[in-house]
Amino acid sequence: MNRKAYSLADFVTRFGGRVEGDAATNISQIATIESARKGQIAFLSNSKYRKQLDSTQASAVIVSEADAEATQLSRIVCDNPYSYFARLSAYLNPLLDFEHGVHPSAVIAEGATIASSAHIASYVTIGKGAIIGAGSVIMSGCCIGDNVTIGENTRLYPRVVVYHDCVLGNNVIAHSGVVIGADGFGLAWEAGAWLKIPQIGRAVIGNDVEIGANTTIDRGALDDTVIEDDVKLDNQIQIAHNVRIGAHTAIAGCVGIAGSTTIGRYCRIGGSAGILGHLSITDGVEISSFTLISKSIRKKGVYSGIYPFSEKDAWLKNAAQLRHLDDTASRLKQLEKELEELKRRVA
């Protein structure tokens, strides 16, 4: 594959930073320090890997001011090599272009509105009253329900399902298998059986949101489920009804968020964490992987709740001791009182 090459000077003009070495060095792709070859640029975002610069075959590297003198390779020096890498990679690897128009096999209901610059692929179904914005791409097998609104330049990969009345903003990316707006788990117990509670809210997705493969976002029971702008969701996340996730929050894979929980802005949640329902998590909270959040978090900080693994027999013994922890603590408190009383008598 022939790729267009750009000089380091071109990159600095577009993205900032400065060049040390040959500004005319041509680059056509980005790669890791270990795998980079001639014509590729690597990046060093952590100084502990500085030694790898000695053996890299890259034509150039992106480094911080602290590592500017760590190599004689041509280099771009910037404040944040990792974010520079992200912007440069997006520039060198743009999203695929799609032809405008509707595939003949697509099924478009009466009253749907599709921008002339949108792309509707094969076997897509679009319900009545739905709106598809300019530049949006709906790939094969997607199902868009009645009265759904999809903004501009949004991209749905194959087999995404958006239920009726839901709203997706501009520049949203939803990967294959995403389901937006399915019923939340709303049930009432009566006379030995479950009664289904109609889920009459919507799922409302803001601008610049990315949703990983097979993630599910349930519609609200009464009010809406809301995902604010620039939220980034990994694969296989479950977001229950009436959850609200604040702008710029990032959530890693396999997280489960129970109903009616509010998560603030700029939060980071590690993989397989669990968050119980009807909680409130303030802005700027970080939650470690596999942590279970069982009460609201009112103070910004990093929260972890991971029980260390160990050899099985040792773990079983420790688990057995944990069962008696409350009783042991009570007995220790009583012993402390008796010791204090004994000290007073001796004195």
CA pair distance 116, 304, nearest whole angstrom: 49
CA pair distance 162, 149, nearest whole angstrom: 10
**Terminal CA-CA length for the chain:** 89
Question: How far does CA 218 lie from the centroid of its chain?
Answer: 17
Amino acid at 338: E
103 is catalytic: no
CA pair distance 185, 71, nearest whole angstrom: 57
Cα–Cα distances in angstroms (integers) from residue 327 to residues 320, 324, 332, 336, in the given order: 13, 5, 9, 14
The residues that bridge with 30 in the sheet, in sequence order, are 41
Q: Among 103, 96, 100, which residue's Cα sits nearest to residue 121?
A: 103
SS3 for 54-91 is HCCCCCEEEEEHHHCCCCCCEEEEECCHHHHHHHHHHH
Residue 209 phi/psi, 5° resolution?
-90, 140
Please pick, among 100, 119, 175, 241, the residue that the annotation labels catalytic.
241
Residue 330 phi/psi, 5° resolution?
-65, -45
Q: Estimate the share of the chain in helix, then strand, then coil, as percent rounded to the nearest 5.
A: 20, 30, 55
The residues annotated with a catalytic role in the active site are 241
